[in-house]
Amino acid sequence: MSMENADPAGPVTPVAPVTPVAPVTPADPVGPAVLVMPPRVTFADVPPLCERLRALYGAGADDVVCDLAALTRADLATVEAVARLRLTARRAGRGVRMRNAGPELLALLTLAGLEPV
C-alpha cells in the first residue's frame, strides 16, 4: 500500500448503513392513538388535554382512546375533562372512547347526566 493513498487519520472501519426508525404515529395501523389521563385532573388541566386530543387528530388519528386507568380520584374536574374531550372530538368530527373508567367516575358521569363511557 502506498503512502499517497493512505488516510492520515488512520484506517477506516466500514459502518453498516443506519436505517431510520419512524416514530409510531396515530395513522399507523397498530391501533388507535391513546391519550392517557393523569392521576389527578384539575380544571386547569382540561384545556391542555383538549389540545393534546386536537394534536392527535391533526397527526392523522380518526379515533382516540382516552385511558383513565391512572386516575386516583374522580371529581367534578374529571367529569369536566371527559365532557370537554367528548365535545372536542364531536367538533372535530372524530371519535374518542374512554377506557378503564372506575366505578366512582362512572357514578359521577351518570349523576351529571352524561352517558356512560
Helix (H) or strand (E) holding 96: strand 95-99
List Cβ neighbours of 57 (8 Å cut-off, separation of 6 or more).
Answer: 64, 89, 92, 94
Q: What angle do CA 68, 38, 66 make, to 5 degrees?
A: 35
- The predicted-structure confidence for 51-83, as pLDDT tens digits, reads as follows 999 999 999 999 999 999 999 999 999 999 999
What element of type H or E holds 108? helix 103-111
* pTM beyond 0.75: no
pLDDT of residue 102: 94
Q: Binning pLDDT at 50, 70 and 90, where does residue 117 land?
A: low
**Segment 22-54, tens digit of pLDDT:** 344 445 556 789 999 999 999 999 999 999 999
Cell of 8: 492520515
